[in-house]
């Protein structure tokens, strides 16, 4: 119990630093330094800090991270969001809910290239909210679907959050990417299914169908989406078939996104430089957090805290389902104060031993973790996506939170489904890596 008391003390110290506004990466390093003091004076804390930070920052696996971030930054500055609405709309008139499904599809497509929940939510909302309001669609359903679908930015591969988890948990980035594909489609299907059921139950709140278009006109409206869809398909197929590593796919993604920006006449020097600086800022922030987390994880390993926690959880004799339920609640609570990447790097060193002890596959757990991070993004009343939509729509926080609540419960259902049926997550990694 002494080690668990030390763990509680260190977590309290970390919470104090974060509450005081200290940068997350610096707070993690300070907590790691404090933890080293409990590991015995013979271990030089400074030398461990230098070797750990350098060793983890120089990881080849991390080379994919800045490239995927840059790919998203480039496409963010093209006309992708506008083209998505025009391209998808003509094909959705037959579905109950009609153009409301554009929110889900557009967030799925943009999420696959942005890797960011907030960027996906803000970008699609910018074009979808005024368009749907102008056409007479229910504003609450529009807000809720955008809050939920915006989270697809971290679930549809390639995802920055998945790269961070794979590096932290020492698992294959490609396997985690492959594992996220079917759960991403599952979440999109749940969202679209809810929109369809709601529209059938509230026919008076759904405007009439748009004038029908000829097949040629529909194809013409959707042509501008084709380069981006082909780029996404190429990146994912290269991963699935083993033609390229995750880093090589990210490099091809950057080249492809530059080509798309040039084709759309959006590749100006100003836009190029803005994308470079945007990617640099985000990457530096993430790497500082990862450096701090790696030092804190090493510190805890020296103290023996992760093993003690795993033994403590084992002594509680929690069933695997009970452990997953407890972790779900913990991550939702953490999500009220931290972003997804910070949640992952803060907890991985402690949680991974528990998960291994319970017999869960670490690739599966990565997708579970991404889903509960998504839940935190739309957890009323403080989910980050709710703040984004509140700013963009001008609605009060209660209205946005109430609109997002059904989509929060759909994510809970998605977590339950992948827990009961883990093959939803694991079937593609097993096909690609049968050994």
pLDDT digits (tens, 9 = 90+) for 225-266: 777 778 877 877 776 677 777 678 778 888 888 888 888 787
Q: What is the pLDDT of residue 40?
A: 63
Who's near 329: CB < 8 A, 6+ residues apart? none
Model pTM score: 0.74
Of residues 167 and 84, more confidence is placed in: 167
Domain boundaries in the chain?
Answer: 2-13+23-35+43-432
Of residues 11 and 186, more confidence is placed in: 186
- What share of the chain has pLDDT > 70, as a percent? 84
Is pLDDT at 337 greater than 60 in this prediction?
no
Of residues 420 and 248, more confidence is placed in: 420
Is pLDDT at 104 greater than 70 in this prediction?
yes
Is pLDDT at 376 greater than 50 in this prediction?
yes
Mean pLDDT of 55-62: 69
384-409: pLDDT as tens digits: 677 777 766 777 777 888 888 898 89
Give the phi and the psi of residue 28 in degrees, each rounded to 5: -65, -40
Tell me which residue of 285, 416, 426 sits closest to 363, measured CA to CA: 426
């Amino acid at each position: 119990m002494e080690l668990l008391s030390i763990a509680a003390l260190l977590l309290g110290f970390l919470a104090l630093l974060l509450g005081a506004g200290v940068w997350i990466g610096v707070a993690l390093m300070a907590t790691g330094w404090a933890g080293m003091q409990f590991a015995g004076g013979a271990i030089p804390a400074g030398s461990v800090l230098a070797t750990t930070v350098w060793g983890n920052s120089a990881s080849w696996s991390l080379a994919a991270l800045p490239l995927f971030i840059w790919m998203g930054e480039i496409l963010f500055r093209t006309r992708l969001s506008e083209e998505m609405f025009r391209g998808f709309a003509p094909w959705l008139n037959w579905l109950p809910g009609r153009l409301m499904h554009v929110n889900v599809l557009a967030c799925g497509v943009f999420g696959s290239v942005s890797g960011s929940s907030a960027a996906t939510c803000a970008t699609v909302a910018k074009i979808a909210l005024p368009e749907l309001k102008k056409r007479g669609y229910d504003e609450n359903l529009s807000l809720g679907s955008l809050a939920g679908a915006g989270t697809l930015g971290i679930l549809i591969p390639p995802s920055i959050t998945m790269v961070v988890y794979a590096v932290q948990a020492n698992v294959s980035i490609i396997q985690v990417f492959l594992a996220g594909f079917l759960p991403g489609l599952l979440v999109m299907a749940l969202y679209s299914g809810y929109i369809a059921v709601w529209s059938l139950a509230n026919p008076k709140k759904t405007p009439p169908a748009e004038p029908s278009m000829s097949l040629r006109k529909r194809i013409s409206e959707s042509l501008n989406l084709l380069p981006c869809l082909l780029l996404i398909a190429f990146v994912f197929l290269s991963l699935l078939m083993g033609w390229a590593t995750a880093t090589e796919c990210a490099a091809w993604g950057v080249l492809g996104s530059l080509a798309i920006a040039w084709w759309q006449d959006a590749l100006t020097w100003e836009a190029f430089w803005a994308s470079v600086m945007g990617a640099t800022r985000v990457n530096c922030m993430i790497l500082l957090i990862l450096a701090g987390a790696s030092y804190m994880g090493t510190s805890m390993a020296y103290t023996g805290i992760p093993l003690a926690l795993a033994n403590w959880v084992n002594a509680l004799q929690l069933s695997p389902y009970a452990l997953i339920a407890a972790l779900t609640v913990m991550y939702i609570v953490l999500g009220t104060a931290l972003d997804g990447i910070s949640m992952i790097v803060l907890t991985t060193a402690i949680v991974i031993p528990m998960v291994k002890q319970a017999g869960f596959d670490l690739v599966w757990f990565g997708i579970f973790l991404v889903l509960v991070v998504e839940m935190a993004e739309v957890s009323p009343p403080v989910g980050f996506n709710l703040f984004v939509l509140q700013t963009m729509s001008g609605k009060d926080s209660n209205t946005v939170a109430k609109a997002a609540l059904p989509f929060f419960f759909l994510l809970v259902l998605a977590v339950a489904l992948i827990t009961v049926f883990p093959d939803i997550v694991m079937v593609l990694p097993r096909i690609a890596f049968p050994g």
